[in-house]
């Protein structure tokens, strides 16, 4: 019996022109995993295109081989196979969904619980802490040795998708793979410095405002903060400066639900992080949003004064359900 990964490796060996697709709003795991696979496939003489609707966020510009990530495919490009990376549905490929669905062979690699199979070949592994774990295995199946560049791209995916080994998804295999990637030349400390230690002054200021404006509800089980457009202007905030703020709210003692409200024109963007079994996605779905049990988001009409009490009420409803489940 052949494993799914061995079948995928065989299919890739038999393909000449291969499309690799990141999910929209790309993160370190989708980018690192597609780049590692691209480098491995190129070493086998394949013609590879790496497509990312969101391009490459500045924090990942250091990734080896990043220059091959494109926002547009060459006119008339045709592929023997399309590989989607961390796309739980074809829609997560953004405007490349059409090119994926037109490919004669679709290969889906994903570790999200919410994945709905759509590939001719599927490597769906919810136990993996990152798609990079799956791709490391696949590259082994392909018979390609780990170059420093391939190892660096994989370790970027593994480290960023686990909050640098802090998330509950980390398993012993994740740590052993990280060790192996370091030995193959992946610079862990440099990856951490590039991704997490290049913050603009404005990002620290915005975090400062959010922390000072932190309020609690539900007897301390909910911590939330609001960033009006006026505050964002005062901080000189750049587009990505809000990333990570809701995670900082979640580190407070006793907090089970952390919520950040960001005013954005007439809308309010809501980021939700939870712990101890409280379902962030259940709160977000109340308002047409979605996500994972631990991390979700939604958008409500403004102003902040209208949006905040609605989301707090939904959070309290979910906390009561959680209490019932726990009893």
Q: Which of 74, 172, 239, 265 binds a second copy (CB under 8 A)?
A: 172
Residue closer to a second copy, measured from CB, 142 or 151:
151
42 touches a second copy (CB under 8 A):
no
- Other residues' Cβ atoms within 10 Å of the Cβ of residue 269: 18
272: its two tokens: 């939700």
Residue closer to a second copy, measured from CB, 7 or 205:
205
Q: How far is CA 235 from CA 153, 220, 228, 230, in A?
A: 33, 27, 11, 9
Cβ neighbours of residue 96 under 8 Å, at least 6 residues apart? 19, 21, 51, 53, 73
Residues that contact a second copy, how many (by CB under 8 A): 44
127 touches a second copy (CB under 8 A):
no
216 touches a second copy (CB under 8 A):
yes
Hey, which residues does 295 pair with through a beta bridge? 273
Q: Which stretch binds a second copy (CB under 8 A): 94-102, 118-126, 193-201, 261-269?
A: 193-201
Q: For residue 316, give the nearest of 230, 228, 256, 236 by alpha carbon.
A: 256
10 touches a second copy (CB under 8 A):
no
183 touches a second copy (CB under 8 A):
yes
165 touches a second copy (CB under 8 A):
yes
Q: Which of 233, 253, 324, 327 binds a second copy (CB under 8 A)?
A: 253
β-pairing, 257-264 vs 222-227, is parallel
Which H or E run includes 109? strand 106-110
Q: Which of 136, 188, 259, 298 binds a second copy (CB under 8 A)?
A: 188
Residue closer to a second copy, measured from CB, 223 or 298:
223
Provide the sign of the torsion angle of the four alpha carbons 66, 67, 68, 72, taken in this order.
Answer: positive
Q: For residue 126, give the nearest of 293, 277, 281, 299 by alpha carbon.
A: 293
User: Minimal distance in Å, beta carbon 229 to a second copy?
Assistant: 18
194 touches a second copy (CB under 8 A):
no
Binding site for a second copy (CB under 8 A): 164-168, 170-173, 175-176, 178-180, 182-183, 188-189, 192-193, 196-201, 204-205, 207-212, 214, 216, 223, 248-253, 275
């Amino acid at each position: 019996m052949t494993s799914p990964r061995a079948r995928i490796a065989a299919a890739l060996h038999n393909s000449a022109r291969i499309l690799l697709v990141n999910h929209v709003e790309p993160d370190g795991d989708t980018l690192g995993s597609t780049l590692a696979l691209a480098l491995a496939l190129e070493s086998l003489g394949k013609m590879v295109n790496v497509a990312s609707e969101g391009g490459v966020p500045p924090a990942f510009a250091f990734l080896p081989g990043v220059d091959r990530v494109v926002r547009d495919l060459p006119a008339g490009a045709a592929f023997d196979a399309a590989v989607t990376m961390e796309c739980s549905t074809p829609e997560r490929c953004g405007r490349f969904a059409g090119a994926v669905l037109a490919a004669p062979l679709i290969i889906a690699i994903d570790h999200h619980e919410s994945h709905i199979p759509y590939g001719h070949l599927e490597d769906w592994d919810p136990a993996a802490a990152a798609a990079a774990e799956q791709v490391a295995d696949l590259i082994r199946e392909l018979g390609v040795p780990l170059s420093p560049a391939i190892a660096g791209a994989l370790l970027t995916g593994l480290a960023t998708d686990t909050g640098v080994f802090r998330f509950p998804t980390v398993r012993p295999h994740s740590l052993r793979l990280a060790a192996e990637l370091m030995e193959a030349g992946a610079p862990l400390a440099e990856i951490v410095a590039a991704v997490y230690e290049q913050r603009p002054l404005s990002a620290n200021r915005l975090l400062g405002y959010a922390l000072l404006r932190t309020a609690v509800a539900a007897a301390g089980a909910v911590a939330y903060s609001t960033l009006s457009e006026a505050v964002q202007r005062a901080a000189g905030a750049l587009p990505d400066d809000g990333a990570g703020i809701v995670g900082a709210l979640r580190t407070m003692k006793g907090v089970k639900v952390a919520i950040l409200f960001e005013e954005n024109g007439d809308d309010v963007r809501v980021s939700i992080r939870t712990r101890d079994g409280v379902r962030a996605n259940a709160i977000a779905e109340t308002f047409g949003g979605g996500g994972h049990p631990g991390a979700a988001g939604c958008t409500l009409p403004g102003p902040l004064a209208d949006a905040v009490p609605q989301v707090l009420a939904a959070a309290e409803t979910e906390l009561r359900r959680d209490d019932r489940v726990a009893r």
